Amino acid sequence: MLARLSLPALPPAINLGNALRLVAALVGALTAVVIAANAYIVFSTRGDATSDVSELPHAQAAIVPGAQVNPDGTMSSMLADRVSRTVELWRAGKVDRILVSGDHGSWRYDEPDTMREALVRAGVPGRVIFTDHAGFNTRTTMVRAKRIFQVSSAIVVTQGFHMDRALYLAKASGIDVHGLTSDLHGYGQKKLQSGIREVFARVKAIGDEAIDSRVMGGPPIPISGDDGRVSWGPKPPHGTPPTGGPKH
């Protein structure tokens, strides 16, 4: 007779109830982390922002984080509203300088120069406008505002859904900061999407601060300088699409 083959014993059947309880525990823990992170950021910045320019103290600079630029080179409504409110700040004498910071990772897409051009068209002198072309996200904008541009006090101009995280990150970077909300329109579906994204972005913000995630460096360009044009950078190559090259 042939010897019977010895087969390995099968693992015990997984208890479905235990598996469901484990999944529920993990979901509960993650939910608790998200809620705690959001609560911490919201409550730590409560009272630091307003929609009324007259309520704000004077600050060294306005910090304007970037937002979407359309393929034809025009500003999205969110970005246009940030620029519009920044002009109000300047005209009210609330800031001495303006730092526009955004994504300019390629010649074909340019948030800071698009904002700068709009400010100049609105009558803001070019010499008071500084541009940060490496503000790829809110944290890099705030860290570089402190490290590169040496901003000590600021008014951040952004929409309400974004304001708490922006203020938290500015404070974490060592900036004495207040905020001016720029909700001049409803923004439709984009606002809903941005609000949902913000819930998880706040968790990431705390994590990035905890590990001190890397931020691009560079030579100092003090915001207290006499001419912000030193930060504007080179002109784009000839033939660059509209988002890459508002003229200097």
What would the pLDDT profile of 10-63 be if each residue is shown by its tens digit?
455 557 778 888 888 899 999 999 999 999 999 999 999 999 999 999 999 999
Q: Which two tokens stand for residue 67?
A: 């937002």
Query: Does residue 19 fall inside a structural domain?
Result: no
Give the number of residues written for the chain: 248
E strands, 67-200, are 95-101, 129-132, 153-158, 176-181
DSSP annotation of 103 reads B
Model confidence pLDDT, tens digit, residues 190-239 = 889 999 999 999 999 999 999 999 999 999 999 999 999 999 977 777 77
Query: Does residue 173 fall inside a structural domain?
Result: yes
Count of C-beta atoms within a 10 Å radius of residue 106: 11
Residues 164, 45 contacting (CB under 8 angstroms): yes
Query: Does residue 82 fall inside a structural domain?
Result: yes
pLDDT at 6: 58
- 87-116: average pLDDT: 93
pTM of the full predicted structure? 0.86
Classify 24 as helix, strand or coil: helix
Query: Does residue 183 fall inside a structural domain?
Result: yes
Assess whether pLDDT exceeds 60 at residue 4: no
Count of C-beta atoms within a 10 Å radius of residue 197: 12
Model confidence pLDDT, tens digit, residues 152-181 = 999 999 999 999 999 999 999 999 999 999
Tokens 């030579």, residue? Answer: 219
Interatomic CA distance for residues 138 and 19, integer angstroms: 39
Assess whether pLDDT exceeds 50 at residue 245: no
Beta-sheet strand order (sheet of 95-101)? 49-50, 176-181, 153-158, 59-65, 95-101, 129-132
Query: Does residue 57 fall inside a structural domain?
Result: yes
Query: Does residue 9 fall inside a structural domain?
Result: no
pLDDT at 237: 76
CATH of the domain at 54: 3.40.50
Domain count, the chain: 1
- 76-82: average pLDDT: 97
Mean pLDDT of the chain: 90
Which residue from 247, 238, 191, 242 is spatially nearest to 69, judged by alpha carbons?
Answer: 242
Which residue from 232, 187, 209, 231 is spatially nearest to 67, judged by alpha carbons?
Answer: 187
Query: Does residue 97 fall inside a structural domain?
Result: yes
Which residue from 59, 36, 34 is spatially nearest to 48, judged by alpha carbons?
Answer: 59
Query: Does residue 34 fall inside a structural domain?
Result: no
Question: What percent of the chain has a predicted confidence (pLDDT) above 70?
Answer: 91
Q: Residue 213's domain spans which residues?
A: 49-244
Tokens 């859904």, residue? Answer: 161
